[in-house]
Chains A and B, each alone.
Chain A
Amino acid sequence: MTNEVKIQTLVMLVDNEAGVLSQITRLFSRKGYNIETITVGTTKDINTSRITIEVLTDDEKAELLCNQIRKLFPVHSVKLIDHENSIRRELVFIKVKAEDSAKRNEIIQIANIFRANIIDVSIGALTLVVIGDGTKTAAIEKILDEYEVLEIVRTGIVAIERGLKTIYDETKEKGEFNYGKNVL
Chain B
Amino acid sequence: MQMTGSQILVECLLEQGVDVVFGYPGGTILNIYDELYNYKDKIKHILTSHEQGASHAADGYARSTGKVGVCFATSGPGATNLTTGIATAYMDSVPVVFISCNVNDNLIGKDTFQEVDLVGITMPITKCNYLVKDVKKLADVVREAFAIARSGRKGPVVIDIVKNVTAETADFEPLSIDKHSSTGRIKQLLNRSSHNFTPPTPDMSDIQKLIDLIKESKKPLTICGGGVIRSKANEEIKEFVTKIDSPVAITVMGAGGIEGRNKLVTGMIGMHGTKASNIACDKCDLLISFGCRFSDRVALNPKTFARNAKIVQIDIDRSEINKNVKSYHHIIGDVKKVLTLLNENLSQLHHDEWKKEVFEYSTETVYDEENRNGTLTPKQILSSIARMLPQDTMVATDVGQHQMWAIQHFHFDYPGQLITSGGFGTMGFGLGAAIGAKIGNPDKAVILITGDGSFRMNLTELSTVEHYNLPIIVFIFNNKVLGMVRQWQSLIYKKHYSETMLDRGPDFVKIANAYGLEGSRVTNVKELEDAINKAMNEKKAYIIDCSIYIDEMVRPMVGGGSDINNFMVN
A46: min CB distance to chain B, Å: 16
- A71 to B124: give the CA distance in the assembly, Å: 12
Query: Are A180 and B332 in contact (CB-based, < 8 A)?
Result: yes
Query: Are B128 and A68 in contact (CB-based, < 8 A)?
Result: no
B329: min CB distance to chain A, Å: 7
Q: Counting chain B CB atoms within 10 Å of each CB, which of A64, A175, A182 scores highest?
A: A182
A28: min CB distance to chain B, Å: 12
The answer to whether A182 and B120 touch (CB under 8 A), given A71-B319, A73-B148, A172-B192, is: no
The answer to whether A182 and B317 touch (CB under 8 A), given A73-B189, A173-B191, is: no
In the complex, what residue of chain A is closest to B194 when comparing beta carbons? A172
Query: Are B194 and A70 in contact (CB-based, < 8 A)?
Result: yes
A89: min CB distance to chain B, Å: 30
Query: Are B124 and A73 in contact (CB-based, < 8 A)?
Result: no
Query: Are B123 and A180 in contact (CB-based, < 8 A)?
Result: no
Complex contacts, A181 vs chain B, CB 8 Å: 203, 205-206, 332
Complex contacts, A173 vs chain B, CB 8 Å: 191-193
Q: Name the one of A22, A26, A73, A179 contacting B193, with C-beta atoms under 8 angstroms.
A: A179
A115: min CB distance to chain B, Å: 42
Complex contacts, A184 vs chain B, CB 8 Å: 321-322, 330
A1: min CB distance to chain B, Å: 11
List A53-69 residues whose CB lies under 8 Å from chain B: 60, 64, 67-68
Query: Are A179 and B123 in contact (CB-based, < 8 A)?
Result: no
In the complex, what residue of chain A is closest to B206 when comparing beta carbons? A182
Query: Are A26 and B123 in contact (CB-based, < 8 A)?
Result: yes
Complex contacts, B332 vs chain A, CB 8 Å: 179-182
Complex contacts, B203 vs chain A, CB 8 Å: 178, 180-182
Query: Are A171 and B206 in contact (CB-based, < 8 A)?
Result: no
Q: Name the one of B197, B209, B333 contacting A180, with C-beta atoms under 8 angstroms.
A: B333
- Cβ of A109 within 8 Å of any chain B Cβ, yes or no, is no
- A65 to B189: give the CA distance in the assembly, Å: 22
- Cβ of A30 within 8 Å of any chain B Cβ, yes or no, is yes
Complex contacts, A171 vs chain B, CB 8 Å: 192
B378: min CB distance to chain A, Å: 37
Q: Counting chain B CB atoms within 10 Å of each CB, which of A26, A30, A179 scores highest?
A: A179
In the complex, what residue of chain B is closest to A180 when comparing beta carbons? B200
List A128-184 residues whose CB lies under 8 Å from chain B: 171-173, 175-176, 178-182, 184
In the complex, what residue of chain B is closest to A178 when comparing beta carbons? B203
In the complex, what residue of chain B is closest to A30 when comparing beta carbons? B124
- Cβ of A86 within 8 Å of any chain B Cβ, yes or no, is no
Complex contacts, B329 vs chain A, CB 8 Å: 182
- A130 to B318: give the CA distance in the assembly, Å: 41
Query: Are A176 and B333 in contact (CB-based, < 8 A)?
Result: no
- A180 to B317: give the CA distance in the assembly, Å: 10
B333: min CB distance to chain A, Å: 6
B193: min CB distance to chain A, Å: 5
Complex contacts, A32 vs chain B, CB 8 Å: none
In the complex, what residue of chain B is closest to A179 when comparing beta carbons? B193
Query: Are B323 and A64 in contact (CB-based, < 8 A)?
Result: yes
In the complex, what residue of chain B is closest to A65 when comparing beta carbons? B319
Complex contacts, A22 vs chain B, CB 8 Å: 120, 123
Known: A70-B319, A173-B191. 15 other contacts (CB 8 A): A19-B131, A22-B123, A70-B195, A73-B127, A172-B191, A172-B194, A173-B192, A176-B195, A179-B194, A179-B332, A180-B201, A180-B202, A180-B332, A181-B332, A182-B331
A–B complex contacts, Cβ < 8 Å, 8 sampled: A19-B131, A30-B124, A70-B194, A71-B195, A171-B192, A176-B195, A179-B332, A182-B205
Top 3 nearest A-B pairs by Cβ distance?
Answer: A172-B192, A67-B319, A180-B200
